[in-house]
Amino acid sequence: MLYSKLTAAQKRIRLSELLQPGAAVQFPGAYTPISAKLVEEQGFSGLYVSGAVLANELALPDIGLTTLTEVAQRAGQIARVTDLPAIVDADTGFGEPMNVARTIQELENAGLAGCHLEDQVNPKRCGHLDNKAVVDLATATQRVAAAASARRDPNFLIMARTDVRGVEGAGGLRAAVDRAKALVDAGADAIFPEAMKDLSEFEAVCAAVDVPVLANMTEFG
Protein backbone atom coordinates (compact mmCIF):
# COMPACT_ATOMS: atom_id res chain seq x y z
CA MET A 1 0.00 0.00 0.00
CA LEU A 2 1.21 3.48 -0.86
CA TYR A 3 -0.94 5.00 1.87
CA SER A 4 -2.33 4.07 5.26
CA LYS A 5 -5.53 2.06 5.23
CA LEU A 6 -6.80 4.17 8.15
CA THR A 7 -7.93 7.76 8.22
CA ALA A 8 -6.24 10.28 10.48
CA ALA A 9 -9.37 10.34 12.65
CA GLN A 10 -9.21 6.56 13.09
CA LYS A 11 -5.55 6.73 14.09
CA ARG A 12 -6.32 9.42 16.67
CA ILE A 13 -9.02 7.24 18.17
CA ARG A 14 -6.51 4.39 18.28
CA LEU A 15 -4.06 6.61 20.15
CA SER A 16 -6.68 7.53 22.75
CA GLU A 17 -7.45 3.84 23.21
CA LEU A 18 -3.77 3.06 23.77
CA LEU A 19 -3.24 5.73 26.41
CA GLN A 20 -5.32 4.19 29.16
CA PRO A 21 -4.45 4.28 32.88
CA GLY A 22 -1.77 1.74 33.68
CA ALA A 23 -0.75 1.26 30.07
CA ALA A 24 2.87 1.55 28.93
CA VAL A 25 3.40 1.72 25.19
CA GLN A 26 6.55 2.22 23.14
CA PHE A 27 6.63 4.76 20.32
CA PRO A 28 10.00 4.45 18.56
CA GLY A 29 11.36 7.45 16.72
CA ALA A 30 10.86 7.73 12.96
CA TYR A 31 12.23 10.56 10.86
CA THR A 32 11.49 9.31 7.33
CA PRO A 33 8.55 7.48 5.77
CA ILE A 34 10.66 4.34 5.24
CA SER A 35 11.72 4.25 8.89
CA ALA A 36 8.04 4.57 9.86
CA LYS A 37 7.27 1.49 7.78
CA LEU A 38 10.01 -0.41 9.62
CA VAL A 39 8.59 0.59 13.01
CA GLU A 40 5.19 -0.69 11.94
CA GLU A 41 6.61 -3.96 10.62
CA GLN A 42 8.22 -4.60 14.02
CA GLY A 43 4.82 -4.49 15.72
CA PHE A 44 5.07 -1.29 17.77
CA SER A 45 1.96 0.61 18.82
CA GLY A 46 2.85 4.02 17.41
CA LEU A 47 5.71 6.26 16.41
CA TYR A 48 7.31 9.50 17.46
CA VAL A 49 8.65 12.17 15.10
CA SER A 50 11.50 13.95 16.89
CA GLY A 51 12.09 17.62 16.25
CA ALA A 52 15.78 17.19 16.97
CA VAL A 53 16.13 14.43 14.40
CA LEU A 54 14.17 16.37 11.77
CA ALA A 55 16.51 19.30 12.34
CA ASN A 56 19.58 17.08 12.21
CA GLU A 57 18.40 15.50 8.96
CA LEU A 58 18.44 19.02 7.50
CA ALA A 59 22.00 19.43 8.85
CA LEU A 60 20.75 21.92 11.43
CA PRO A 61 21.29 22.02 15.19
CA ASP A 62 18.19 21.61 17.35
CA ILE A 63 17.92 25.27 18.31
CA GLY A 64 14.60 26.26 16.77
CA LEU A 65 15.73 26.70 13.18
CA THR A 66 13.16 24.44 11.53
CA THR A 67 9.85 25.93 10.40
CA LEU A 68 6.25 24.83 10.72
CA THR A 69 6.18 24.15 6.97
CA GLU A 70 9.20 21.83 7.14
CA VAL A 71 7.97 19.94 10.19
CA ALA A 72 4.38 19.57 8.98
CA GLN A 73 5.51 18.38 5.55
CA ARG A 74 7.89 15.70 6.79
CA ALA A 75 5.61 14.59 9.62
CA GLY A 76 2.74 14.35 7.16
CA GLN A 77 4.82 12.21 4.82
CA ILE A 78 5.53 9.88 7.72
CA ALA A 79 1.90 9.72 8.88
CA ARG A 80 0.73 9.02 5.33
CA VAL A 81 2.48 5.66 4.99
CA THR A 82 1.62 3.95 8.26
CA ASP A 83 -1.47 2.77 10.11
CA LEU A 84 0.24 3.70 13.39
CA PRO A 85 -0.67 6.92 15.22
CA ALA A 86 2.19 9.41 14.99
CA ILE A 87 3.07 12.10 17.54
CA VAL A 88 5.28 14.96 16.36
CA ASP A 89 7.50 17.38 18.24
CA ALA A 90 6.14 20.88 17.53
CA ASP A 91 8.82 22.72 19.53
CA THR A 92 7.39 25.93 21.01
CA GLY A 93 4.52 26.02 18.49
CA PHE A 94 6.53 28.18 16.08
CA GLY A 95 5.56 31.49 17.61
CA GLU A 96 3.06 33.15 19.89
CA PRO A 97 -0.32 31.62 20.91
CA MET A 98 -1.93 32.61 17.59
CA ASN A 99 0.90 30.83 15.75
CA VAL A 100 0.41 27.82 18.04
CA ALA A 101 -3.25 27.65 17.00
CA ARG A 102 -2.27 27.57 13.35
CA THR A 103 0.39 24.94 14.07
CA ILE A 104 -2.22 22.61 15.55
CA GLN A 105 -4.50 22.90 12.56
CA GLU A 106 -1.64 22.38 10.08
CA LEU A 107 -0.59 19.22 11.93
CA GLU A 108 -4.19 18.01 11.97
CA ASN A 109 -4.35 18.61 8.22
CA ALA A 110 -1.11 16.65 7.79
CA GLY A 111 -2.66 13.58 9.41
CA LEU A 112 -0.81 13.51 12.72
CA ALA A 113 -2.43 11.93 15.77
CA GLY A 114 -0.97 14.46 18.17
CA CYS A 115 1.93 16.73 19.04
CA HIS A 116 3.78 18.18 21.97
CA LEU A 117 4.51 21.81 22.73
CA GLU A 118 7.22 22.97 25.09
CA ASP A 119 7.63 25.84 27.52
CA GLN A 120 11.05 27.06 26.44
CA VAL A 121 11.66 30.56 25.16
CA ASN A 122 11.70 30.99 21.40
CA PRO A 123 14.09 30.09 19.80
CA LYS A 124 14.43 26.94 21.87
CA ARG A 125 17.31 24.57 22.50
CA CYS A 126 17.49 20.79 22.55
CA GLY A 127 16.27 19.54 25.91
CA HIS A 128 19.63 17.86 26.57
CA LEU A 129 21.67 21.05 26.06
CA ASP A 130 22.79 23.49 28.75
CA ASN A 131 21.67 27.13 29.02
CA LYS A 132 17.99 26.51 28.34
CA ALA A 133 15.43 29.08 29.43
CA VAL A 134 11.70 28.68 29.95
CA VAL A 135 8.85 31.13 29.59
CA ASP A 136 6.75 32.22 32.54
CA LEU A 137 3.79 30.13 33.61
CA ALA A 138 1.22 32.44 32.03
CA THR A 139 2.88 32.17 28.61
CA ALA A 140 3.25 28.41 28.91
CA THR A 141 -0.42 27.91 29.76
CA GLN A 142 -1.50 30.34 27.02
CA ARG A 143 0.28 28.15 24.46
CA VAL A 144 -1.51 25.04 25.64
CA ALA A 145 -4.88 26.76 25.88
CA ALA A 146 -4.48 28.10 22.33
CA ALA A 147 -3.62 24.63 21.08
CA ALA A 148 -6.56 22.98 22.82
CA SER A 149 -9.04 25.54 21.54
CA ALA A 150 -7.70 25.43 17.96
CA ARG A 151 -8.03 21.70 17.34
CA ARG A 152 -11.07 20.55 15.44
CA ASP A 153 -10.71 16.86 16.24
CA PRO A 154 -11.09 16.34 20.01
CA ASN A 155 -8.99 13.18 19.71
CA PHE A 156 -5.96 15.10 18.43
CA LEU A 157 -3.55 14.75 21.38
CA ILE A 158 -2.18 17.95 22.90
CA MET A 159 0.87 17.07 24.98
CA ALA A 160 2.63 19.74 27.03
CA ARG A 161 6.36 19.48 27.61
CA THR A 162 8.10 21.29 30.43
CA ASP A 163 11.84 21.89 30.65
CA VAL A 164 11.68 23.45 34.10
CA ARG A 165 13.45 20.49 35.75
CA GLY A 166 16.68 21.22 33.89
CA VAL A 167 16.48 24.97 34.51
CA GLU A 168 15.52 25.42 38.16
CA GLY A 169 18.34 23.48 39.80
CA ALA A 170 17.63 22.01 43.23
CA GLY A 171 13.98 23.00 43.10
CA GLY A 172 13.50 21.76 39.58
CA LEU A 173 11.43 18.68 40.33
CA ARG A 174 8.94 20.59 42.49
CA ALA A 175 8.72 23.29 39.84
CA ALA A 176 8.18 20.68 37.12
CA VAL A 177 5.38 19.00 39.08
CA ASP A 178 3.65 22.32 39.75
CA ARG A 179 3.93 23.36 36.12
CA ALA A 180 2.69 19.99 34.89
CA LYS A 181 -0.47 20.44 36.97
CA ALA A 182 -1.02 23.93 35.56
CA LEU A 183 -0.52 22.72 31.99
CA VAL A 184 -3.11 19.98 32.48
CA ASP A 185 -5.52 22.58 33.88
CA ALA A 186 -4.88 24.66 30.74
CA GLY A 187 -5.99 21.81 28.49
CA ALA A 188 -3.05 19.43 28.04
CA ASP A 189 -4.04 15.80 27.43
CA ALA A 190 -0.59 14.47 28.39
CA ILE A 191 2.66 15.68 29.97
CA PHE A 192 6.25 15.37 28.76
CA PRO A 193 8.58 16.12 31.71
CA GLU A 194 11.99 16.75 30.14
CA ALA A 195 15.31 16.06 31.88
CA MET A 196 14.08 13.86 34.71
CA LYS A 197 17.04 12.49 36.67
CA ASP A 198 15.74 9.04 37.57
CA LEU A 199 12.67 6.83 37.77
CA SER A 200 11.54 8.30 41.08
CA GLU A 201 11.16 11.69 39.43
CA PHE A 202 8.95 10.23 36.73
CA GLU A 203 6.92 8.60 39.51
CA ALA A 204 6.47 11.99 41.18
CA VAL A 205 5.10 13.52 37.97
CA CYS A 206 2.82 10.54 37.34
CA ALA A 207 1.44 10.79 40.86
CA ALA A 208 0.69 14.49 40.43
CA VAL A 209 -1.37 14.39 37.23
CA ASP A 210 -4.21 12.22 35.93
CA VAL A 211 -3.01 12.16 32.32
CA PRO A 212 -0.44 10.06 30.43
CA VAL A 213 3.23 10.93 30.95
CA LEU A 214 5.88 10.55 28.25
CA ALA A 215 9.37 9.28 29.06
CA ASN A 216 11.89 10.41 26.43
CA MET A 217 14.46 7.59 26.30
CA THR A 218 17.69 8.46 24.47
CA GLU A 219 21.24 7.21 24.60
CA PHE A 220 22.50 10.52 26.01
CA GLY A 221 19.87 11.67 28.53
Q: Which of 40, 106, 126, 163 is catalytic?
A: 126
| More confident call, 129 vs 82 | 82
pLDDT in tens, 107-126: 999 999 999 999 998 877 67
Query: What number of helices (H) and strands (E) belong to the chain?
Result: 8, 5
Is residue 62 flagged as an active site residue? yes
Q: Which of 12, 74, 116, 179 is catalytic?
A: 116
Task: Tell me the β-bridge partners of 116.
Answer: 89, 159
At residue 128, does pLDDT exceed 70? no
At residue 1, does pLDDT exceed 80? no
Is residue 109 flagged as an active site residue? no
Q: Which of 108, 119, 189, 194 is catalytic?
A: 194
**Averaged pLDDT of the chain:** 93
Q: What value does the CA radius of gyration of the chain take, rounded to a whole number of Å?
A: 16
Largest CA distance in the chain: 52
Is residue 219 flagged as an active site residue? no
Contact between 121 and 170 under an 8 Å Cβ cutoff? The reply is: no
Contact between 11 and 85 under an 8 Å Cβ cutoff? The reply is: yes
Q: 164: part of which helix (H) or strand (E)? A: none
Is residue 128 flagged as an active site residue? no
Is residue 210 flagged as an active site residue? no
Q: What is the DSSP secondary-structure string of 193-219?
A: ETT--SHHHHHHHHHH-SS-B-----T
Residue ranges per structural domain of the chain: 8-208
Rounded-to-integer distance, Cα 216 and Cα 127, Å: 10
pTM of the model: 0.93
Is residue 118 flagged as an active site residue? yes
Q: Where are the beta strands (DSSP E) in the chain?
A: 47-49, 86-89, 114-118, 157-162, 190-193
Is residue 130 flagged as an active site residue? no
Is residue 153 flagged as an active site residue? no
Measured in degrees and rounded to the nearest 5, phi and psi for residue 162 equal: -125, 135
At residue 75, does pLDDT exceed 60? yes
Is residue 126 flagged as an active site residue? yes
Of 159, 134, 130, 145, the closest CA to residue 51 belongs to 159
Is residue 161 flagged as an active site residue? yes
The class that CATH gives domain 8-208 is alpha beta
pLDDT in tens, 77-99: 999 999 999 999 999 999 999 99
Q: Which of 12, 31, 40, 89 is catalytic?
A: 89
